[in-house]
């Protein structure tokens, strides 16, 4: 059992708790201002020993910075380059300066919430704040897993900002054509983005061998992501290859686009037959095409949303749309594009009414009007 002893310091009387660890080693905890505080700690230690939740205090003396370096090293091999770049930036800019020298045992929930408030007041967007918090919380999750902490003190915050989803831009068929007409040699790429729903990285990684124009199909195999001006080629976001239908009008365009090219060549190459880099904002070919065509302001990724919108308008079922877009489930597709299915609610009511009218169910008479009037 733990024992409590008092001792004198220049600041006054203090208390110390002596106890044995689960491995039967002798240890102590000093610095309690009152005997009551020492007794609470002693009781807590005994309960933790009985429940298996005891963590030696020495293990909690490692700093967030020491664990953060190892965490980042693991993440570099676990996630895609673009994701790692975001995590590394969040660590370097927001987490390490505030928490790097803090011992993990000294991280408190209220301190984490104050940090979040400071970031928000400094004008940081919800995405930045949530990502920075996620880095800190994930590092401390690792400390719990390594049994350096009994629980994660960063979990349970209540003041994380909420992301506000920007209104999506959906182009019509006519607007897509106007944009493609102003895109010069990139016109076929615009059509592929708007009618096949590929992500930008999937489109610029597309090779001739990935096209099966006889079957009107293309296969998404690679994803070329641009990070700090460099292209990193990996698997698609879902890590799964997928087959995507090609509208008939686009088949001939793609055939002309690939004429004279080898099977391993890129369909939409950039300079030197390398991967096409993203269009520079404001002065790039895409932004200029948007301005000249007069369509609403949008990014190349918005054309993926347009593909979903045009498919829904054409009556494509959700499961087929999910497969085309590469979503993990049809539920994810519905959640992502719930606004595109608003009209379906009216269609459900109309369909049920039509089905009932064609059945043998007697017509429902309206209730008698108030005021004592009766029907003749």
Q: What is the pLDDT of residues 260-307, one digit of tens each?
A: 999 999 999 999 889 999 887 778 999 999 999 999 999 999 999 999
Kindly tell me if the per-residue pLDDT of 328 is higher than 90.
no
Judge if pTM exceeds 0.75: no
Kindly tell me if the per-residue pLDDT of 96 is higher than 80.
yes
**How much is the pLDDT for 366?**
65
Span 335-364, mean pLDDT? 73
Kindly tell me if the per-residue pLDDT of 217 is higher than 50.
yes
Kindly tell me if the per-residue pLDDT of 358 is higher than 70.
yes
- Band of residue 363 on the pLDDT scale cut at 50, 70, 90: low
**How much is the pLDDT for 167?**
85
**How much is the pLDDT for 146?**
87
Span 351-374, mean pLDDT? 67
Is CATH 1.10.443.10 correct for 173-338? yes
Kindly tell me if the per-residue pLDDT of 375 is higher than 50.
no
Whole-number Å distance between alpha carbons of 243 and 347: 30
Whole-number Å distance between alpha carbons of 148 and 104: 8
**How much is the pLDDT for 218?**
96
Contact yes or no for 231/224 (Cβ under 8 A):
yes
Beta carbons within 10 angstroms of residue 220's beta carbon? 26
Q: What is the pLDDT of residues 14-68, one digit of tens each?
A: 999 888 877 777 888 888 999 999 888 888 878 777 776 766 776 778 999 999 9
- Chain centroid offset of residue 304 CA: 17
Burial string for 227-263 (b: 16+ CB within 10 Å, else e) reads: eeeebbeeebbeeeebebbbeeebeebbeebbeeeee
Beta bridge partners of 12: 9
**How much is the pLDDT for 2?**
82
Beta strand 211-212 with 12-20: parallel, antiparallel or unpaired?
unpaired
Q: What is the pLDDT of residues 112-133, one digit of tens each?
A: 999 999 999 999 999 999 999 9
Ranges of beta strands (E only) in the chain are 3-9, 12-20, 26-32, 211-212, 217-220, 223-227, 230-234, 242-245
Contact yes or no for 148/180 (Cβ under 8 A):
no
Whole-number Å distance between alpha carbons of 4 and 58: 20
Whole-number Å distance between alpha carbons of 187 and 168: 22
Kindly tell me if the per-residue pLDDT of 193 is higher than 60.
yes
For 96, 119, 134, 280, the CA distances from 161, given in Å and listed in that order, are 21, 10, 13, 30
**How much is the pLDDT for 325?**
93
Whole-number Å distance between alpha carbons of 241 and 80: 16
| Token code pair at residue 119 | 């970031």
**How much is the pLDDT for 376?**
43
Length of the chain: 376
Q: C-alpha angle 325/330/331, rounded to 5°?
A: 125
What would you measure as the largest C-alpha separation in the chain, in angstroms?
102
**How much is the pLDDT for 29?**
83
**How much is the pLDDT for 150?**
83
What percent of the residues of the chain are helix, what percent strand, and what percent coil, each to the nearest 5? 50, 15, 35
Share of the chain above pLDDT 90, in %: 60
Of 1.10.10.10, 3.40.190.10, 1.10.150.130, 3.40.630.30, the CATH number of 64-145 is 1.10.150.130
Kindly tell me if the per-residue pLDDT of 192 is higher than 60.
yes
HEC string of 62-123?
CEHHHHHHHHHHHHHHHCCHHHHHHHHHHHHHHHHHHHCCCEHHHCCHHHHHHHHHHHHHCC
Mean pLDDT of the residues in the chain: 88
**How much is the pLDDT for 344?**
60
Calculate helix-pair angle for 187-196, 173-181, nearest 10 degrees: 160
**How much is the pLDDT for 15?**
92
Q: What is the pLDDT of residues 69-91, one digit of tens each?
A: 999 999 988 888 889 999 999 99
Span 178-185, mean pLDDT? 96
End-to-end CA, the chain: 93
Span 156-185, mean pLDDT? 93
């Amino acid at each position: 059992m733990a024992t409590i002893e008092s001792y004198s310091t220049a600041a006054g009387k203090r208390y110390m708790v002596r106890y044995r660890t689960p491995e039967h080693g002798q240890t102590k905890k000093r610095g309690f201002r009152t005997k009551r505080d020492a007794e609470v700690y002693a009781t807590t230690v005994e309960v933790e020993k009985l429940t298996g939740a005891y963590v030696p205090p020495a293990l909690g003396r490692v700093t967030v910075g020491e664990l953060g370096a190892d965490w980042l090293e693991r993440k570099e091999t676990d996630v895609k380059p673009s994701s790692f770049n975001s995590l590394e930036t969040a660590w370097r800019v927001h987490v390490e300066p505030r928490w790097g020298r803090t011992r993990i045992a000294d991280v408190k929930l209220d301190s984490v919430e104050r940090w979040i408030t400071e970031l928000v007041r400094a004008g940081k967007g919800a995405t930045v704040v949530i990502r920075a918090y996620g880095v800190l919380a994930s590092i401390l999750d690792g400390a719990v897993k390594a049994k350096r902490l009994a629980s994660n003190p960063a979990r349970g915050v209540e003041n994380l900002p909420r992301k506000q989803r920007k209104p999506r831009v959906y182009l019509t068929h006519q607007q897509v054509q106007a944009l493609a007409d102003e895109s010069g040699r990139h016109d076929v790429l615009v059509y592929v983005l708007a009618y096949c729903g590929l992500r930008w990285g999937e489109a610029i990684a597309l090779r001739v061998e990935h096209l099966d124009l006889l079957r009107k199909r293309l296969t998404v195999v690679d994803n070329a992501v641009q990070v700090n001006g460099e292209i990193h080629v990996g698997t698609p976001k879902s890590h799964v290859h997928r087959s995507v239908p090609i509208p008939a009008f686009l088949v001939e365009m793609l055939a002309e686009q690939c004429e004279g090219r080898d099977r391993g060549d890129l369909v939409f190459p950039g300079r030197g037959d390398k991967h096409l880099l993203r269009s520079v904002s404001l002065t790039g070919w895409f932004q200029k095409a948007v301005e000249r065509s007069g369509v609403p302001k949008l990014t190349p990724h918005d054309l993926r949303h347009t593909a979903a919108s045009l498919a829904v308008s054409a009556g494509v079922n959700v499961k087929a749309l999910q497969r085309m877009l590469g979503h993990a489930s049809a539920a994810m597709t519905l959640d992502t594009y719930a606004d595109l299915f608003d009209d379906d609610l009216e269609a459900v009511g109309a369909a049920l009414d039509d089905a009932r009218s064609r059945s043998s169910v007697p017509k429902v008479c309206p209730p008698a009007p108030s005021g004592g009037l009766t029907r003749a």
